Amino acid sequence: MSSSSTIGSALAALTASGRAESRLAFGCDYNPEQWDPSVWAEDIRLMREAGVTIVAINVFGWAQIQPRPDVFDFSGLDAIIELLHEAGIGINLGTGTASPPPWLSTKHPEILPVDADGVRAWPGGRQAYCPSSPVFRAAAQRLATEVVTRYGSHPAVQLWHVSNELGCHNAHCYCDVSASAFRDWLRAKYGTVDALNTAWGTTFWSQRYGAWEEVLPPRHTLSAGNPAQALDFARFSSDEVLECYRMEERIIRRLSSVPVTTNFMVTAHIRNQDYWQWAPYMDVIANDHYLDHRLPDPHQELSFAADATRGLAGGDPWLLMEQATGAVNWQPRNITKVPGELMRNTFAHVARGADGVCFFQWRASAQGTEKFHSALLPHAGTDSRKWQEVLELSRALGSVRELAGTRVVADVALVFSWEAWWATDLDSHPSEELRYLEQVHAAYRALWEAGITVDIVRPGADLSAYRTVVAPSLYLVRDDEVKAVTDFVAGGGTAVITFFSGIVDQDDRVRLGGYPGAFTNLLGLHVDEFFPLAAGGSVTLDDGATGTVWSEHIVPGAADVVATYADGPLPGSPAVTRNTFGGGSAWYVGTALDRPHLSGLLARAAQEAGVDVPADHGDGVEQVLRRGPDADYRFYINHSDETRPARAAGLELLTGAAVDGLELPPGAVRVVKTKREE
Ligand code: GAL
């Protein structure tokens, strides 16, 4: 397992951070097998022109390098590796196991995944395998062993890229092999069927199991199924896909000393991997991020994902393994980036701790599913605006090379949990409008708009470095996680907890005695009934705020009432409270507050806790601070259409100009370096 300091040093090998030649990694997925070898020389020449330092190859190479069950052909890969090596371009080498070739699924159709209705997927796309399949695993193991044996000591290989976005399409398989693996996992967790019955509450609805053979994955049922079963299946599925990674990781560690990682998907639309459990096995934390135009504020979700990725890296720098120069091809409408947006997106990742920025993919495909996905080199070639932007971006990253190895500074923590996400979004809850990620994003956006940088932390994390912690809709919470927040407040910290938090334990069992069970004491109140709002409904608070989605009957104990409902089902009842607890305070928000009021409330709570909240916030300028051993680097990213002033003094790295006060043109990015006097 990697500690966070080895994450930093593994990435430092790619960025040479802290040394005179330091740089930020800049690169892409490179799929040369799509092209005639005559194109490769031009690729390499243009990669050098664009300042590419690292490329991911062999990610989907399986069918090329193992064309038949007993035939391996590395000639193409050998040639590419040598070309890149000669050009001084580092390699992020795929183990090649991401997508089984047709011969494997033809010979072994039982590796194909099965959905909750019992329908087996066909081959023809990608990642069509059951993560628990011993046949798939043996084949992947064999391929990975061949690849690592051949290239494990090659001087150009800087990073191992295990598989690709593990669990992107196949996270949940319901086949009989998965069912058996699920039972093994449950047996290891519970020991006895009786213990499982207790944890799952199977006495209700006549679901009691008498033997392990009776236990199944949560396949499609007529009514809603057992929620604890669904929750355990989500945990099992994450563990099972992680085990696919670990199987390859073990091979790599045996045969090579090059750092190992895989690309995470900390995004808005994929929630199936509990990356808090995965992170310890990575030498470098790497994320893939694509703007999601189905969301109201894609660039704020980008910032959230970047902060969450840094959280997974324990605060150390991390690697953006994939993003797009423009449009993707897998959303309903594939919106491209307007001029300047690529620079803003990239610098938002860098501001939030990325020490390397890579893209999918090098050259836009002429064929196949992703031919309309943007790339560094578009279909139009170098005679294009996109190519000029890529060159400009590469130059800009060159001018901030000294950032490598520096760390983001944050006084506020936001608790985020994949397990709570799965649990909150289970069926049969008070309101289908309460979706965990939406509430997390709402809190994050409110903090973003208040100009407050946050660290995203796991539940139960040590909070002692922070002044304020925010826990949005943390429905499922374990006792030790409750204690972490309670101790933090008792010791002088400020917590802000929002509705539908603290409701159940790890088995999805309601904590009795009034909601929010786990936090009633800390918050100095209890809730005796939920009053979710009708679809599209809203309530007004006496301070003018609007609440949506949720309301509830709060009975204050020690807590002070900060705001009450002016209308709706609970006029005169508390909506927002604040409790003094030990040396600190704990705020509670009982409804989904509108953006400006949630932002104002979080800014007030943070400010009262001593957080430095910028006075000029709320103007669409993203501000983040990275700190090095002897300098501070302040990022300013103007997302607005107006020129914005900023009080910054120092050396602006992108223009090379000394500044005392900034005028930020619309869309501009600036990084101001200030020497620190120790
Ligand atoms: C990622 C994947 C890449 C490519 C990209 C397109 O999910 O790792 O292979 O498909 O998306 O956006």
655 and 508 within one domain: no
Output the DSSP codes for 291-311: --TTSS-HHHHHHHHHHHHHH
Question: Tens of pLDDT along 343-374?
Answer: 999 999 999 999 999 999 999 999 999 999 99
601 and 632 within one domain: no
Q: Whose CA is nearest to atom 12 of ligand 1?
A: 328
Separation between Cα atoms, residue 511 and residue 522, nearest integer Å: 15
- Of 647, 10, 654, 4, give the one whose Cα is nearest residue 356: 10
Q: How are strands ordered across the β-sheet holding 644-652?
A: 407-408, 621-627, 631-638, 669-675, 644-652, 657-664
Check if 301 is active-site.
Answer: no
CA of 7 to the centre of ligand 1 (A): 24
Please give the pLDDT value at position 656. 97
Question: Tens of pLDDT along 258-275?
Answer: 999 999 999 988 999 999
597 and 651 within one domain: no
CATH number of the domain within which 631 lies: 2.60.40.1180
Annotated binding-site members for substrate: 126, 164, 330
If one counts the domains in the chain, the total is 3
CATH number of the domain within which 551 lies: 3.40.50.880
State the pLDDT confidence band at 677, using cuts at 50, 70 and 90: confident
586-609 average pLDDT score:
98
Residue ending a domain, among 344, 371, 403, is 403
Annotated binding-site members: 126, 130, 164, 173, 175, 330
- Residue 533 in domain: yes
637 and 489 within one domain: no
Task: Please provide residue 149's backbone torsions phi and psi, each rounded to the nearest 5 degrees.
Answer: -60, -40
- Residue 394 in domain: yes
Atom of ligand 1 nearest to the CA of 328: 12
Please give the pLDDT value at position 178. 98
Given a contact cutoff of 8 angstroms between Cβ atoms, the answer to whether 160 and 260 are in contact is yes
240-251 average pLDDT score:
98
Is the predicted pLDDT of residue 326 greater than 70, yes or no? yes
Please give the pLDDT value at position 1. 61
Separation between Cα atoms, residue 360 and residue 55, nearest integer Å: 10
Separation between Cα atoms, residue 588 and residue 470, nearest integer Å: 10
CA of 496 to the centre of ligand 1 (A): 36
- Residue 206 in domain: no
Separation between Cα atoms, residue 70 and residue 370, nearest integer Å: 30
447 and 301 within one domain: no
User: What are the angstrom distances between the C-alpha of 434 and each of 4, 420, 512, 632?
Assistant: 34, 13, 21, 40
Separation between Cα atoms, residue 323 and residue 290, nearest integer Å: 5
Structure tokens, 414 = 């936001």
- Of 566, 564, 567, 568, give the one whose Cα is nearest residue 577: 564
Q: Whose CA is nearest to atom 11 of ligand 1?
A: 360
248-255 average pLDDT score:
98
Q: Whose CA is nearest to atom 2 of ligand 1?
A: 165
Sequence-separated (6 or more) residues with CB below 8 Å from residue 53: 14, 23, 25, 26, 27, 89, 90
Separation between Cα atoms, residue 72 and residue 150, nearest integer Å: 11
What is the DSSP secondary structure assignment for residue 184, as one 8-state letter? H
Please give the pLDDT value at position 614. 85
Please give the pLDDT value at position 676. 86
Task: Please provide residue 243's backbone torsions phi and psi, each rounded to the nearest 5 degrees.
Answer: -65, -35
50 and 155 within one domain: yes
User: What are the angstrom distances between the C-alpha of 27 and each of 56, 232, 286, 296, 401?
Assistant: 8, 38, 13, 29, 15
CATH number of the domain within which 377 lies: 3.20.20.80
Separation between Cα atoms, residue 652 and residue 671, nearest integer Å: 6
273 and 138 within one domain: yes
Domain that holds residue 131: 4-171+258-403
Please give the pLDDT value at position 454. 98
Question: What share of the chain has pLDDT > 90, as a percent?
Answer: 95
- Residue 207 in domain: no
Atom of ligand 1 nearest to the CA of 168: 7
Q: Greatest CA separation found in the chain?
A: 76
Given a contact cutoff of 8 angstroms between Cβ atoms, the answer to whether 69 and 362 are in contact is no
Q: Where are the beta strands (DSSP E) in 107-186?
A: 157-161
549 and 586 within one domain: yes
Separation between Cα atoms, residue 140 and residue 157, nearest integer Å: 20
Separation between Cα atoms, residue 443 and residue 459, nearest integer Å: 16
Structure tokens, 659 = 């500044």
Q: Whose CA is nearest to atom 5 of ligand 1?
A: 360
Question: What share of the chain has pLDDT > 70, as a percent?
Answer: 98
Question: Tens of pLDDT along 440-483?
Answer: 999 999 999 999 999 999 999 999 999 999 999 999 999 999 99
| Angle (deg, nearest 10), helices 341-351 and 385-399 | 30
Q: In a mutational test of the pocket of ligand 1, which residue from 97, 320, 370, 376 has the highest number of ligand atoms less than 8 Å from its CB?
A: 370
432 and 332 within one domain: no
State the pLDDT confidence band at 535, using cuts at 50, 70 and 90: very high
Please give the pLDDT value at position 5. 59
433 and 382 within one domain: no
Q: Where are the beta strands (DSSP E) in 15-138?
A: 25-29, 54-57, 90-94
625 and 593 within one domain: no
CA of 330 to the centre of ligand 1 (A): 9
Structure tokens, 33 = 């097998």
Sequence-separated (6 or more) residues with CB below 8 Å from residue 144: 95, 96, 97, 162, 247, 248, 251, 252
Separation between Cα atoms, residue 472 and residue 485, nearest integer Å: 13
User: What are the angstrom distances between the C-alpha of 178 and each of 130, 215, 236, 416, 677?
Assistant: 8, 12, 10, 28, 58
- Residue 586 in domain: yes
CA of 360 to the centre of ligand 1 (A): 7
- Of 302, 372, 362, 367, give the one whose Cα is nearest residue 336: 372
- Residue 643 in domain: yes
Annotated binding-site members for Zn(2+): 130, 173, 175
State the pLDDT confidence band at 187, using cuts at 50, 70 and 90: very high
Q: Where are the beta strands (DSSP E) in 145-197?
A: 157-161
Atom of ligand 1 nearest to the CA of 165: 8
Check if 165 is active-site.
Answer: yes
Sequence-separated (6 or more) residues with CB below 8 Å from residue 91: 54, 55, 56, 57, 81, 84, 85, 154, 156, 157, 158, 159
Work out the angle at residue 275's Cα, subtended by the Cα atoms of residues 274 and 281, and round it to the nearest 5 degrees: 125
Residue ending a domain, among 581, 608, 635, is 608
122-126 average pLDDT score:
96
Residue ending a domain, among 341, 373, 403, is 403
633 and 671 within one domain: yes
- Residue 200 in domain: no
Atom of ligand 1 nearest to the CA of 60: 9
- Give the CB-side neighbour count of residue 554, counting CA atoms within 13 A: 34
- Of 247, 88, 234, give the one whose Cα is nearest residue 173: 234
Question: Tens of pLDDT along 546-563?
Answer: 999 999 999 999 999 999
Given a contact cutoff of 8 angstroms between Cβ atoms, the answer to whether 444 and 61 are in contact is no
Q: What's the mean per-residue pLDDT of the chain?
A: 96
Pocket of ligand 1 (CB under 6 A): 164-165, 168, 288, 290, 322, 328, 360, 370, 373
Q: Which helix (H) or strand (E) is 105 found in, with range?
A: helix 102-107
Give the lowest-confidence range in 167-176, 339-348, 618-627: 618-627
CA of 504 to the centre of ligand 1 (A): 36
CA of 392 to the centre of ligand 1 (A): 24
Separation between Cα atoms, residue 322 and residue 325, nearest integer Å: 10
Atom of ligand 1 nearest to the CA of 324: 12
Given a contact cutoff of 8 angstroms between Cβ atoms, the answer to whether 495 and 522 are in contact is yes
Please give the pLDDT value at position 678. 60
Please give the pLDDT value at position 118. 98
Q: Which of 165, 249, 301, 449 is catalytic?
A: 165
Sequence-separated (6 or more) residues with CB below 8 Å from residue 113: 120, 121, 128, 129, 130, 170, 173, 175
3-state secondary structure 473-527: CCCECCHHHHHHHHHHHHCCCEEEEECCCCCECCCCCECCCCECHHHHHHHCEEE
Sequence-separated (6 or more) residues with CB below 8 Å from residue 211: 193
CA of 221 to the centre of ligand 1 (A): 33
Structure tokens, 25 = 């990694």
What is the DSSP secondary structure assignment for residue 416, as one 8-state letter? -
160-170 average pLDDT score:
98
Please give the pLDDT value at position 2. 61
Q: Which of 322, 389, 552, 652 is catalytic?
A: 322
Q: Indicate the pairing of strand 631-638 with strand 669-675.
A: antiparallel
- Residue 272 in domain: yes
Q: In a mutational test of the pocket of ligand 1, which residue from 127, 262, 288 has the highest number of ligand atoms less than 8 Å from its CB?
A: 288
